[in-house]
Amino acid sequence: MWFRNTYLKTLREYRIAILGWGIGMGLMMFAVLSAIADLVSTPQARATLVTLAKSFAWIAEPIHVDTPGGYATWKYGFTILVVVLWPILAGSRMLRGEEERGSMDVLLSLPESRARVALRKLAALWTALILIGLIIGLLTFLAGQSVHADFGLGGALLYGLNISVIGGLFGSLALFISQFTQSRRTAAGITGGLLALSIAVDIVHRVVPNTEWFSRLSPVYYYNLSKPLIPSYGTDPVALLVLLIASAVLSGVAVWLFLRRDVGVAQALPGMIHLPARPMTPERALPVNAWSLQSVYSRSLRSMAVPTFWWTFSIAAFAAFMVFIVEQTEQQLKQLYESTPVLAGLIGKVGGGDASTNAALMSFFFVFLPVMLMAFAVTQASRWAADEEDGLQELVLATPQPRLKVILARFGALTTATIIVAVVTLAATVLATVASGLALDWGNLVAASLSIIPMGLLIAALGYLFSGWLRTAIDTGLLSFLLVIWFVITFIGPELNWSEGVMRLSPFYYYGTPIVNGLPVGNMLLIIAVTVVALAIASVRFMRKDIAH
Amino acid sequence: MTTLVETQGLTKRYGSSRGIEDVTFEIDEGEVFGFLGPNGAGKTTTIRTLMGLLRPTAGSAHIGGLDCWEQSTDVKRLVGYLPGELSLDPNLTGGQILEYFGNLRGGVDQSYLKALIERMGLDPSRKFRQYSSGNKRKIGIVQAFMHRPRLLILDEPTNGLDPLNQQEFDRMVREVRDEGRTVFLSSHILGEVEQTCNRVAIIREGQLVRIGEVAALKDIKRHDVTITFAGDAPLEAFKTLPGVDQAEALADGHSLRLAVSGGLDGVIKAAAQHPVVNLTSQEPSLEEVFLRYYEDDGAVAKEASHVVP
């Protein structure tokens, strides 16, 4: 049945993603809503929650946060947009991925028009997105029922539909961009960057007054106009329509370009924005004398230069932005802490130490830095596994390079990249601190910025270790799962008063709160020791295993 | 002649799946050794085991006296390798790829490299992803030859090359042989093997079923003999002759077609008992020999006894 046509075949390829993303993100709603009963157990706690949400309005607009639907909408905020990563990958792969693999040639050799192939694939993507949204909606409804939420099945399903539609928009954007790139990875990377930018642009109007006009440029703004889990707020049909029309236009133009361009060739950009080509005659192509071609280490470093740049930019910008946010809200926060001891306790649990200081709040935000660096490390560990699976190690290992040297050179390049991320983040934070006049302990700031390095290396080493036995998709999935679980333990655990034993399962526990309490030397040594052991086992495994091809 | 490549009972299994089983052969220095077999027969598994990319389940493989697994780094100093499926960074130019692998080998003679590029008619300024499959193959061939290795291990080297480049490649292989270097060439293009190789091994379902000189293989295999008699063809007289695998009468009633293994002495003596109008004997091409080894499933065990390392 599944191989009857392109639509069913493509839908079959999406089946694991449908279940994985749908159930995974749906179950997160259970975790989020399980906290609501404690948070509104007393009038004082309820008031604290409302005040807290207002202070964190940049995450999401706080509306009726003392109700399950309002709390879930605010708490999930833009984090639910993690689900958009899948349509970005699927959209960039839909046509360009098939062209890269050469399978598009075979597909188009069949008596089926290009338009039909493209539209059937597009229909499969939308079907998958609707199914993901349906699963999220149903699980959200069940999670709501477990806490006697005031939203019904209709609201929950509309919540899922809103996620499907924003996913469809970014999937369509990835499909559109992939018409202009030679590689699906480039298209996915650019679209991922646009997603981050869209989230940032949407945040602006909640942080800076009178900037709503600017935020309207972001698709995420229209996504946030609908809050179906809050019955009194409801769904904005115009916003949904705007997103659907934008998706249709992007997909339509993408398919139109696909019908007119050569298969396997990127659509030329208009002359105004086309980068000038650097012509090279065959006679002058050798010797290249590039530093990046000298060794496995330098080649690896060069290949991760572009993603390292963007991740560095994002992480450093986030850190600097947080400094300004804390400085701007310093006075309000102090008043808040004095009037709401529960809030002080909550911030103190995650931020560490005395919550009446801005350092505690900074510390709370700084826990996001290792999360982001670890996400970067997951992508690079995934590439290590993928390179072997794609046969890219075959010829490298046919040269007289010992396998141990190859794996350590690659890991060394990743180490260099993480050090660059950390050092630039430190520099950006220091500059922002000096510019804003925020009072922070410099030693602790250095410790907080640089101690993210072992965190990134830990998950990378685990990725290298798992890749000794697992295929790339499973390796990446497992690392992502670990990262999400650790994140949940650290950020939801304190609210649920989980035991110290459970909290210790997350590496973020060992990162601690360096901005407040300084470098936890013992904990960092433990993280480094686990990293070294994982890398050592990964190296031994790589030296002894059959190279996949 | 010194032995450069030696495998002894080389076996590789993938869990319960078959890889190669008890593969034993030797290649002398200066030989061009052909390795024949259909898809999935075990050619690539044998080659990747020689390259130290796969760990043998049993047996051993040595190149230049070095163990291919335990001393694989040293082995690779001696070898230039062209894999069957070439996967390289699509964003690098041909020139960058060649320079990178040259550096990983400790540097190569640039003038020789440029000469190879010129001979293959390759444009090294283009990105790998922009190359046609034939040009990608040329990159693979140049990187295998560029450091003048003592042994070339080439897996389906001419796949995708046009006839002119195939001829150039054949010349390059002959030059390597003339310089006393060694080539291990896996292929299913039999004409190429027939023209360039001294010896050939045939692998089937993971087992070596035949190994020997190209000429000897052809000689011992089978002759297709057609005899035209003045009277009726005496079919019964030939059916039971030793060495006659097949005998059939043709439609004209005067002619017989025989498939004969080994020498023709018995057939000629039997034919001499009858008035013969015409007799033709056709020597099989390597292709026909090759096909014979794959024409029925029961052949492996029978033919394995003929393996002459």
What do you get for the CA distance between the two ends of chain B, in Å? 15
B244 vs B238: CA distance, rounded Å = 7
Whichever domain contains B255, its CATH number is 3.30.70.100
Residues B180, B279 within the same domain: no
Question: Which of A353, A356, A331, A324 is CA-nearest to residue A341?
Answer: A356
ipTM of the complex: 0.78
Query: Cβ(A359)–Cβ(A516) under 8 Å?
Result: yes
Q: What are the two backbone dihedrals, phi and then psi, of residue B9, each rounded to the nearest 5 degrees? A: 60, 35
Q: With respect to residue B267, please indicate whether it lies within any of the assigned structural domains.
A: yes
Query: Cβ(A52)–Cβ(A39) under 8 Å?
Result: no
Task: List pLDDT tens digits, range B10-29.
Answer: 999 988 788 999 999 999 99
Taking the CA atoms of chain A, what radius of gyration do you get in angstroms? 24
Amino acid B306: pLDDT: 43
Amino acid A321: pLDDT: 81
Percentage above 90 pLDDT, chain B: 60
Closest residue in chain A to residue B121, using alpha carbons only:
A282
Residues of chain A with C-beta less than 8 angstroms from the C-beta of B88: 392, 395
User: Which residue segment(s) compose the domain that B177 sits in?
Assistant: 3-217
Task: List pLDDT tens digits, range A41-99.
Answer: 788 878 877 877 776 777 788 899 889 999 889 877 766 777 888 899 899 999 998 89
Amino acid B301: pLDDT: 41
Q: With respect to residue B163, please indicate whether it lies within any of the assigned structural domains.
A: yes
For the residues of A86-136, what is the DSSP string, one character each?
Answer: HHHHHHHHHTHHHHHHTHHHHHHTSSS-HHHHHHHHHHHHHHHHHHHHHHH
A370 vs A315: CA distance, rounded Å = 9
Closest Cβ opposite residue A288 in set B53, B90, B99:
B99
- In this structure, of A334-343, A525-534, B239-248, B298-307, the range with the lowest mean pLDDT score is B298-307
Degrees, nearest 5: CA angle B304-B308-B309: 115
Last residue of a domain, one of B194, B217, B240: B217
Query: Cβ(A340)–Cβ(A412) under 8 Å?
Result: no
Omega before B163 within 30 of 0, i.e. cis: no
Residues (pLDDT < 50) of chain A are: none
Residues B155, B207 within the same domain: yes
Residues B111, B9 within the same domain: yes
Amino acid B298: pLDDT: 42
Examine the pLDDT at B292 and tell me if it is beyond 70.
no
Last residue of a domain, one of B217, B235, B258: B217
Query: Cβ(A529)–Cβ(A458) under 8 Å?
Result: no
Examine the pLDDT at B284 and tell me if it is beyond 90.
no
Residues B229, B89 within the same domain: no
Residues of chain A with C-beta less than 8 angstroms from the C-beta of B101: 395, 399
Query: Cβ(A125)–Cβ(A86) under 8 Å?
Result: no
Amino acid A274: pLDDT: 58
Neighbouring CB atoms inside 10 A of B231's CB total: 10
Amino acid B119: pLDDT: 94
B126 vs B109: CA distance, rounded Å = 22
Question: Which of A291, A314, A30, A35 is CA-nearest to residue A199?
Answer: A314
Q: Å from B241 to nearest chain A CA?
A: 50
pTM of the model: 0.76
For the residues of B150-194, what is the DSSP string, one character each?
Answer: SEEEEESTTTT--HHHHHHHHHHHHHHHHTT-EEEEEES-HHHHH
pLDDT band at residue B185 using 50, 70 and 90 as cut-offs = very high
Residues B72, B169 within the same domain: yes
Question: Which of A534, A535, A511 is CA-nearest to residue A523?
Answer: A511
Q: With respect to residue B197, please indicate whether it lies within any of the assigned structural domains.
A: yes
Amino acid A170: pLDDT: 96
A393 vs A386: CA distance, rounded Å = 10
Residues of chain B with C-beta less than 8 angstroms from the C-beta of A289: 99
Residues B85, B129 within the same domain: yes
Examine the pLDDT at B309 and tell me if it is beyond 60.
no
Closest residue in chain A to residue B114, using alpha carbons only:
A286
Closest Cβ opposite residue A390 in set B81, B87, B106:
B87
Whichever domain contains B128, its CATH number is 3.40.50.300
- The DSSP output letter for A548 is P
Count of CB pairs separated by less than 8 Å, A with B: 102
Examine the pLDDT at B220 and tell me if it is beyond 90.
no
Q: With respect to residue B307, please indicate whether it lies within any of the assigned structural domains.
A: no
A207 vs A205: CA distance, rounded Å = 5
| Portion 386-405 of A in contact with B at CB < 8 A | 390-392, 394-402
Examine the pLDDT at B305 and tell me if it is beyond 50.
no
Question: Which of B83, B99, B80 is CA-nearest to residue B148?
Answer: B80
Q: Å from B109 to nearest chain A CA?
A: 11
Give the strands of the sheet with B223-229, arranged side by side.
B244-249, B255-260, B223-229, B276-282
Closest Cβ opposite residue B96 in set A182, A293, A392:
A293
Query: Cβ(B18)–Cβ(B29) under 8 Å?
Result: no
- The DSSP output letter for A439 is -
Q: With respect to residue B293, please indicate whether it lies within any of the assigned structural domains.
A: no
E-strand spans in A353-418?
Answer: none
> What value does the mean pLDDT of chain B take?
87
Closest Cβ opposite residue B105 in set A289, A394, A400:
A400
Residues B212, B244 within the same domain: no
Residues of chain A with C-beta less than 8 angstroms from the C-beta of B85: 391, 549
- The DSSP output letter for B282 is E
B7 vs B63: CA distance, rounded Å = 9
Q: What are the two backbone dihedrals, phi and then psi, of residue A496, each rounded to the nearest 5 degrees? A: -95, 5
Residues B210, B91 within the same domain: yes
Residues B131, B182 within the same domain: yes
Note the Cα B92 to chain centre separation in Å: 32
Residue for token digits 């208009």? A270
Q: Is there a contact between A398 and B100 if contact means CB atoms under 8 Å apart?
A: no
Is residue A469 helix, strand or coil? coil
Residues of chain B with C-beta less than 8 angstroms from the C-beta of A182: 129
Residues B185, B237 within the same domain: no
Query: Cβ(A353)–Cβ(A517) under 8 Å?
Result: yes
The pair of structure tokens assigned to A197 is 């930018």
Instruction: Report the relative pairing of strands B17-28 and B3-14 from DSSP bridges.
Output: antiparallel
Q: Is there a contact between B85 and A391 if contact means CB atoms under 8 Å apart?
A: yes
For chain B, what is the domain count? 2
Q: With respect to residue B304, please indicate whether it lies within any of the assigned structural domains.
A: no
A197 vs A443: CA distance, rounded Å = 32
Amino acid A430: pLDDT: 92
Residues B25, B157 within the same domain: yes
Is residue A174 helix, strand or coil? helix
Neighbouring CB atoms inside 10 A of B101's CB total: 22
Q: With respect to residue B302, please indicate whether it lies within any of the assigned structural domains.
A: no
Amino acid A287: pLDDT: 72
Q: With respect to residue B266, please indicate whether it lies within any of the assigned structural domains.
A: yes
Q: Is there a contact between B104 and A285 if contact means CB atoms under 8 Å apart?
A: no
Query: Cβ(B169)–Cβ(B138) under 8 Å?
Result: no
DSSP lists the bridge partners of residue B227 as B256, B279
Task: List pLDDT tens digits, range B142-177.
Answer: 999 999 999 999 999 988 888 899 999 999 999 999
Percentage above 70 pLDDT, chain B: 89
Q: Is there a contact between B55 and A545 if contact means CB atoms under 8 Å apart?
A: yes
Residues B109, B164 within the same domain: yes
Residues of chain A with C-beta less than 8 angstroms from the C-beta of B87: 390-392, 394-395, 549
Question: Which of A112, A114, A113, A131 is CA-nearest to residue A19?
Answer: A131
Residue B49: C-alpha distances to residues A263, B114, B127, B140 (Å): 38, 31, 31, 19
Examine the pLDDT at B265 and tell me if it is beyond 90.
no
Last residue of a domain, one of B167, B196, B217: B217
Q: Is there a contact between B55 and A397 if contact means CB atoms under 8 Å apart?
A: no
Instruction: Report the relative pairing of strands B244-249 and B66-67 from DSSP bridges.
Output: unpaired
Amino acid residing at A381? A
Query: Cβ(A472)–Cβ(A386) under 8 Å?
Result: yes
Numbered residues of chain B with Cβ closer than 8 Å to any chain A Cβ? 48, 51-55, 73-74, 76-77, 79, 81, 83, 85-91, 93-96, 98-101, 103-106, 110, 113-114, 117, 123-125, 129, 143
Residue B209: C-alpha distances to residues A46, A147, A206, A447, B271 (Å): 82, 72, 76, 67, 33
Question: Which of B113, B67, B122 is CA-nearest to residue B94?
Answer: B122
Instruction: Report the relative pairing of strands B32-36 and B17-28 from DSSP bridges.
Output: unpaired
Amino acid residing at A1? M
Residues of chain A with C-beta less than 8 angstroms from the C-beta of B53: 394, 397-398, 546-547, 549
Taking the CA atoms of chain B, what radius of gyration do you get in angstroms? 23
DSSP lists the bridge partners of residue B10 as B23
